[in-house]
Amino acid sequence: MVLQRTVSQLFLLSLACMCLHAAESVPSVTAPVILEEDALPVPTRAIPSVLLDAELSNLHRPRVVTGCKISPLTEIWDLNAQSFEKNADTEPVDVDDLRPDAAQALDTFKGMVTSLGGRFELKSAYRPAAYQAHLHEVWVKWVKELRGNRSRACSALREEVGAEFARHQLLVKQQPVPVSDHVLGLAFDAAVGVPRGARLNGKRVSVDKLAALVGIKRPTIRRDPVHFKLLADRPAAMSYVPSLGTY
């Protein structure tokens, strides 16, 4: 009788263990690619059944962050920023809120690049301040606080912020600044390329030479190759543009 009870208890415990393992393997299946290299370790030692029950009930409430010392992401209140955030997957580009001279430089630059057979893919332009602050916060929270965090209490928050990091296509090596030229309407991000040996008025041109002609510049080509910023002293450069004729 006693033996029978012990056997059935063992059986129940192992069933519970299987459930826990099954449930724990779920996040690594649904998590974004970026999380896979940091998959949570599966516990190897036996867990007392009281703790096991607590853990199992926790699994059904993934947003609970009790016990995690890291604060959740700040909510976005700014309406304009909210719409950016809602559409982050489709990479909304707001050119209308660029400063007029920045918008004009962007147009001229794009015209030059495409007429030379180059590639011009606009990724981002004006960003509301609150949205830029959100991007900065997501980066800091993921890279500095949660990426290497193995605390079980923080695992739900870790998963949430990791997904947000991936959704915004942020890069670990590229920290968004808290206030940027995008917020001021002075910058845009674009993936730009011109064919090797492209010539303009008989002269060889590169992406950066073309940019200089319209009064924009990539301040940090290596670290942020898509970021173009309006130059402060651009009248001389712009005066050269009409002589190019078609631009």
User: Which residues contact Zn ion by CB under 5 A?
Assistant: 189, 227
Q: How far is the CB of 127 from Zn ion (least distance, A)?
A: 9
Residue nearest to Zn ion (CB): 227
Q: How far is the CB of 94 from Zn ion (least distance, A)?
A: 13
Q: How far is the CB of 52 from Zn ion (least distance, A)?
A: 48
Q: Cα separation of 162 and 97, whole Å?
A: 30
Question: Cβ closer to Zn ion: 110 or 227?
Answer: 227
Paired tokens of 48: 């007392």
Q: How far is the CB of 189 from Zn ion (least distance, A)?
A: 4
Question: Cβ closer to Zn ion: 134 or 227?
Answer: 227
DSSP string, the chain: -HHHHHHHHHHHHHHHHHHHHHHHHHHHHHS-HHHHTTPPPPP-S---HHHHHHHHHHTT-TT--TT--SPPPPPP--HHHHHHHHTGGG---B-TTS-HHHHHHHHHHHHHHHHTT-EEEEEE-B--HHHHHHHHHHHHIIIIIITT---GGGHHHHHHHHHHHHHTT-BTTBPPPSS-TTTTT-EEEEEEE--TT-EETTEE--HHHHHHHTTEE-TTTTT-TTEEEE-SS-HHHHHHGGGGS--
Q: How far is the CB of 224 from Zn ion (least distance, A)?
A: 6
Question: Cβ closer to Zn ion: 69 or 223?
Answer: 223
Sign for the CA dihedral angle at 193, 195, 200, 203 comes to: positive
Q: How far is the CB of 227 from Zn ion (least distance, A)?
A: 3
Q: How far is the CB of 230 from Zn ion (least distance, A)?
A: 12
Phi-psi region of 119 (alpha: psi -120 to 50; beta: other; left: phi over 0): beta
Question: Cβ closer to Zn ion: 27 or 228?
Answer: 228
